[in-house]
Chain A
């Protein structure tokens, strides 16, 4: 994974696979703490305690239904490589919270990548899921929520190409307002 956006897409895909109906994506950039935090939270099927302890280890191959997963171990590795850390909390039947904390100024900290593009793809491809996206930096905060967008759309599909294009521009412009680094 070359950037934060790719990781976000990957972790959110886990949430979709776990049948989440609500997914929150949060990016918190804090120069004072020298941290860049990415959080993906869902209300999907969750995991047992045993499963949680296994998913961060790419070398565990007890799984029978599919090969060892890479998404979570890669994110953990990339966060820890900067001196940051990684947490995953999950409860069966309730949902999962994945939090990766990178050290902002570490040379190995991944660039942001096209976060707006990823958010918009997720929204367009999964109109049945309620997405929230929040981006906080030392300069301010931007929040978007598909429930609110759908209210504005009054029945028009959120996946309509012209809507998708608009949302991407809107996110990008708002990100620009709070851009630090």
Chain B
């Protein structure tokens, strides 16, 4: 039987990360990171929010962009699910609708990397957004 991974193997990963950590620490204050919130209410999940959230987590890491990816409940845009709210450091949040992995890719390349707006922004009244 092959050896199944256990928490003992996690220690190695932890040690690696701690090795790199010193270099990173300075840029790690949350305001300096890109914040991404994926709407994960019933309608979001049903329309593929999980794949979109995984895509952001994996691709941002691959492309060396430090970001915080979290989930939120209903943002009130059932018609445009999956929806994703992106907050660039020091800027107002922007909500994108109908986000699939292709759209997520151009959001990363254009908006997150270069600040260029991508099609599909939902005009938002922030009063209505729930956490």
Contact = CB atoms under 8 A, between A and B. Distances in A.
Contacts of A173: 4-5
Interface residues of A, number: 40
A169 B5 contact: yes
A152 B45 contact: no
B21 A156 contact: yes
Interface of A is mostly: helix
Given A13-B40, A166-B5, A166-B9, A6 B50 contact: yes
Size band of the B side of the interface? 20 to 34
Contacts of B50: 5-6, 9, 114, 117-118, 121
A170 B9 contact: yes
Interface of A: 1, 5-6, 9-10, 13, 16-17, 66, 69-71, 74, 114, 117-118, 121-122, 124-126, 148-149, 152-154, 156, 159-164, 166-167, 169-170, 173-174, 177
20 contacts: A1-B42, A1-B46, A10-B40, A10-B41, A10-B42, A13-B40, A13-B41, A13-B71, A13-B73, A16-B71, A71-B41, A118-B50, A124-B69, A152-B10, A159-B68, A162-B16, A166-B9, A166-B10, A173-B5, A177-B4
